[in-house]
Amino acid sequence: MDDIIIVGAGIGGLTLGLALQAAGIPCRIFESVAEIRPIGVGINLLPHATAELAALGLEAALAQAAIATEDATFFNRFGQLIYREPLGRAAGYAHPQFSIHRGDLQMILVDAFRARAGHDRLMTSHHCLSVEQDASGVSVHFSGSPDGAGRSTIRGRAVIACDGINSAIRKQFFPGEGEPRYSGVNMWRGVTRWKPMLSGASMVRAGWLSNGKMVIYPIRRASDADGLQLINWVAEIETPVYRKRDWNRPGSIDDFIGAFADWHFDWLDVPAFIRAADSVLEFPMVDQDPLPRWSFGLVTLLGDAAHPMVPRGSNGAGQAILDARALASALLENRDPVAALVAYQRQRLEATTRIVLTNRSNPPDAILREVYQRTHDRPFAAIEDVISHEELVALSEGYKRIAGYSKDALRG
């Protein structure tokens, strides 16, 4: 009854569990899947997020599994370099930027939580149906399977919805919200075993959405056996047709390879790289309009359940991690859980709203948009004739300030 109930064992829920455990606040995590397995593709952890995970004692484990990203590079679709900047420790941050397989990150968090809190504190096969609250606490109603069978009710001191963009608890409080907002961009995602490219720790953005954009970065270091890294890639194309979102939907290379058929760069044969993928998944780029509130008495939202954002700033997982830090601190500082959830919302809602809206209009790849529009999608003789170095820096640094990971913000 004294436990904080966390619904969802994704990045946000597990980080919150670890932060609460470190603060001496009892909690339990309830996950819908029967077995947590290392699935997914690549994600990035920016320095503000890795600082929080380092404070939880996880930096060594992350460094072992991830690539410490060294630089961001921007190219047009002709392979011409637009801009390069250092990232993470190479840019002078106190903490690295990590590129990592999402499954690797989740299992690091799972293993740490079970080791520190106990295996019985993470329960699987619990599908959240709804939540109720009264003067003495909350009741979370679960089923044991997707068809609603095997129902149970868990009592707790408060409940935190960390169950993603399809959150049952979010839908309970906002029943008329409707489907996620489609950005007009479809994504095909995959991982390919390939030789290291550029610095071997580069995050590459190339092209533009109108006729094809790629994001490419390594997420596991090269093996001794063949010298190949595991490299994550995303192909993004403006696509008017909305296909229902499903992270497990297989994608067909033939549906998008045409946009990249002539991308033969000095440092990468892009069509060959795509065709060498282990598998391809298809997913529409979606988000939701920011909510006016997250907290309702003893219930609040966190991560994608609170502020799903289009993945154009490498920032979704990081913001869930920052949510977890803020919420754990609020619960530690406020004996009244209702007051704690209000304090958490006050700290995080406005900040994440700005990021959701900026990811729609002016994310880091706005650099690519500016060059595309100014060159009319033609090769340039010199990038300085198209856009000044000062403008490029301003676009990059402006996003860092909004997203909360400028060096000045982290020093403060």
Structure confidence at residue 362 as a pLDDT band (50, 70, 90): confident
- Which residues sit opposite 142 in a β-bridge? 128, 152
Please indicate, yes or no, whether residues 151 and 38 belong to a single structural domain of this protein.
yes
Mean pLDDT calculated for residue range 147-153: 86
Structure confidence at residue 315 as a pLDDT band (50, 70, 90): confident
CB 119 within 8 A of CB 331: no
Instruction: Give the chain's count of helices (H) and strands (E).
Output: 11, 18
pLDDT in tens, 70-86: 999 999 999 999 999 99
pLDDT at residue 2 in the model: 85
Which residue do the tokens 């090269």 mark? Answer: 222
Please indicate, yes or no, whether residues 294 and 324 belong to a single structural domain of this protein.
yes
Please indicate, yes or no, whether residues 238 and 338 belong to a single structural domain of this protein.
no
What SS3 class is residue 326? helix
Decide if pLDDT at 164 tops 80.
yes
CA distances from 410 to 32, 298, 393 (A): 35, 31, 18
Dihedral (Cα; 134, 137, 143, 149), 10-degree rounding:
-50
pLDDT at residue 242 in the model: 67
pLDDT at residue 1 in the model: 63
pLDDT at residue 126 in the model: 95
Decide if pLDDT at 320 tops 70.
yes
Domain stop point among 263, 286, 309: 286
- Tell me which of 95 and 314 has the higher pLDDT: 95
pLDDT at residue 289 in the model: 95
pLDDT in tens, 204-243: 999 998 889 999 999 999 887 899 999 999 999 998 876 6
- Tell me which of 401 and 66 has the higher pLDDT: 66
pLDDT at residue 247 in the model: 61
Please indicate, yes or no, whether residues 296 and 153 belong to a single structural domain of this protein.
yes
How many structural domains are present in the chain?
2
Please indicate, yes or no, whether residues 215 and 173 belong to a single structural domain of this protein.
no
Residue 185 lies in a domain: no
Domain stop point among 319, 340, 361: 361
pLDDT at residue 245 in the model: 60
CA distances from 361 to 5, 39, 319 (A): 36, 30, 18
Residue 161 lies in a domain: yes
CA distance 183 to 286: 6
Q: What is the CATH number of the domain that holds 277?
A: 3.30.9.30
Mean pLDDT calculated for residue range 13-37: 95
Structure confidence at residue 41 as a pLDDT band (50, 70, 90): confident
Please indicate, yes or no, whether residues 164 and 293 belong to a single structural domain of this protein.
yes
pLDDT at residue 243 in the model: 66
pLDDT in tens, 76-125: 999 999 999 999 999 999 999 999 999 999 999 999 999 999 999 999 99
Please indicate, yes or no, whether residues 320 and 224 belong to a single structural domain of this protein.
no
pLDDT at residue 410 in the model: 78
Please indicate, yes or no, whether residues 294 and 167 belong to a single structural domain of this protein.
yes
pLDDT in tens, 256-292: 999 999 999 999 999 999 999 988 999 899 999 999 9
Question: Which of 379, 390, 391 lies closest to 76, judged by CA?
Answer: 379
Structure confidence at residue 401 as a pLDDT band (50, 70, 90): confident
pLDDT at residue 400 in the model: 84
CA distance 281 to 286: 15
Domain stop point among 261, 286, 311: 286
| Amino acid letter, residue 300 | T
| Amino acid letter, residue 385 | D
Structure confidence at residue 246 as a pLDDT band (50, 70, 90): low
Please indicate, yes or no, whether residues 296 and 280 belong to a single structural domain of this protein.
no
Decide if pLDDT at 249 tops 90.
no
Mean pLDDT calculated for residue range 51-80: 97
Average of per-residue pLDDT values in the chain: 93
Structure confidence at residue 36 as a pLDDT band (50, 70, 90): confident
pLDDT at residue 264 in the model: 97
pLDDT at residue 411 in the model: 67
Range of the domain at 100: 4-67+96-179+288-361
Decide if pLDDT at 340 tops 90.
yes
CB atoms closer than 10 angstroms to residue 334: 15
Mean pLDDT calculated for residue range 381-408: 89
pLDDT at residue 280 in the model: 92
Structure confidence at residue 244 as a pLDDT band (50, 70, 90): low
pLDDT at residue 101 in the model: 94
